[in-house]
Structure 1
Amino acid sequence: MNYDTSTIDADGRLLTDGSPPPPRWRRWAVIGVVVLLAGILAWVFFRPAPEAVDPLKSGGARDQQIPSISVAVPGRDTVRAIISGTGSLAARREMPIGVVGEGGLVTRVLVEPGDWVRAGQTLATVDRSVQAETAESLAAQVRVARADAEIAESELKRAQQLVDRGFISKADVERRTATRDGARARVAVAEAQLAETRARNQRLDIRAPAAGLVLARAVEPGQIVGGGQAVLFRIAMDGQMEMRAQLAENDLARVRRGAVADVTPVGASESVRGQVWQVSPIIDPQTRQGIARIALPYAESLRPGGFASARIVAGASVSPQLPESAVLSDSNGNYVYVLNDKNQVVRRDIRIGEVSDGGVSIASGLDGTERVVLTAGGFLAPGQKVKPTLVKIER
């Protein structure tokens, strides 16, 4: 016997036997979706028409879209062409000093490296005891020769007085005259020998040939020195120094004699001003470099053999100068952006000159009166309108 197990739920729907009723949340979700779609359709069909835009009221919005950039009028300044180089320091005129005379035992050394000496000043003395005795012997010979010459002179005078009386013949007078002349000659020879010996003795001492600064000393008391001895002292004439700057071949061709240069030794905080006094006439075939010799006055920071850097002024020109941020480049070359009278960006092709710490000099393309975009040029396009802010370029 079959029984109908269908039931009716609380909402009046017929439920079959064994099937659970649907969840209530699903019913409410379906209702919510239907309501949302109805609202969207109502907004689409019943929204008010947009009002016409007033051009006079929209200027402020457009102004907010115009970028604000920094511009400057570079003007024209004197731009120096600077060539940088490095090299070693040395004495401009170094005098090596050794033994001039016969040499001997060094008894005293009177100077040290770093001392200033005058021309002819004794640097070291050499023992001269034997030479002094020789000089004294020659001085005695000079005195003997002079005495003989005085006797011969007096005898000649007496003979001349007696020849008129007939007591002495003229032949005797002539012999006495010859004796007097021979005595005088022996005096001259003895004096010359004495002078030579004294001069040799003076050369035993080692002396400075010119005023200057003692750079090195290679002799000590008790040392025996001779004529073939190595250099004992080195002196920088008048204390003058120089820098031998190594420059590339292209840079060396731009350097002229008399050019001003600032030399900064390694470890020094201040530079020394000098002048180029010689430009090398040859180029090293291996390194393709040449030497510019810069004359320098004496300074404590300048030590021969040290290393230094130099900034040489190779010339000057009057041209606009801009910071590196203002100069752009592409496949067509270097350029800058300038503003016209409508504050619109205009591309201007340029040719750059010297590049230094102060900026980039413009060799051609600008006359210095333009308003040049300093920064953000890479984000602009020709014809774009901008709001300029005029600033001053720091030199």
Structure 2
Amino acid sequence: MINYDQFLNQELANVKPSGIRRFFDIASEIDDVISLSIGEPDFSTPWHIREAGIDSLEKGKTWYSPNRGFADLREEISRWFERKYGVSYAPATDILVSVGGSEAIDLALRSLLNPGDEVLIPVPSFVCYTPLTEVAKGVAVQVETKAENNFRLTAADIEAHITPRTKLLVLPFPNNPTGAVMRREHLEEIAHVIEKHNLFVISDELYSELTYGSQPHVTIASIPGMKERSIVINGFSKAFAMTGWRLGIAVGPKEVIAQMTKLHQYGIMSAPSIAQYAAIEALKNGDKDIEYMRDQYDIRRRLLVNTFNELGLTCFEPEGAFYVFPDIRSTGFDSETFCEKLLFAKHVAIVPGNAFGDCGEGFVRVAYANSLANIKEALKRIKEFLTEIKQ
């Protein structure tokens, strides 16, 4: 018998599978499950965006694009960043179109890290940052954010974890799973620390357009001195309900984008042409679609926050993304036990908080990317579940 361990990449072999997917897979085998587990918008991609993709097929536009993406798309991305965030990027050199935001994160980490370099990763946060850092032979240093700070990252949090080996800060806001956001004043404080210690930033802003309230999203690249120190990741999955189109954006200094493009060139070649044509239409004419979907998410957000607090599961009000992160410690269960019991007893799928870092223990992530009707039914079942476990 062959011992395959001798052939495997050990960094990759040591990576644990995603805790999000485990509950999704279990739920897929149970009837009548309401899934509030995956960050998958329940909206279809708006018709005018789909139509642009269909039109490209009908006209036979099915060829490879340049490695960095079609020039027309990069020009629209440049205009979008200028219009939305007040930051200018050169379409020819500063922009890369990737296969989803996740590929862009991977490319950025592999382009910037040498073996042993340390990466500061706020937690709770999306599951990919630590594994991708480790596969790139970097050292992931998790920085805990706290409920009492609304899960925001502070300058003091960063300072406390910096060593001579620290090179990168991952800035995942608006945050998955907590829904936390960073306002301009918070980013300005962090910028001083980044410059003081000569760090670089990978800012994952995939949920930028799903920011609630009167203050819009602020990118760290708009803070003086930060554009030249930041790779900003964004994309089309969340804002435009284009998850299956697999299209992401990386913008930043041309020197780093050039290295990312080399990796993209050899590993992927180019993003799908059909998706790129659809994305051009999304950026040109999709603002009203974003506004409509954001308003619908906001209704669901407020319903979930209010109901969980009424049920005794303390839940701070998230200001971004489409997740709430209630505290379930009052039930006496750990996060995984709570989620498993709820799934099997009431057929409601949510994700244990410790899937996003050990400090997420005692919390659960509930996605409100499902219909309002399904959310209301899920809350009814959760209320029944809480009543039954108290008896």
TM range (shorter): under 0.3
Q: What TM-score does the superposition give when structure 1 sets the normalisation length?
A: 0.20
Q: What TM-score does the superposition give when structure 2 sets the normalisation length?
A: 0.20
Structure showing greater Rg: 1
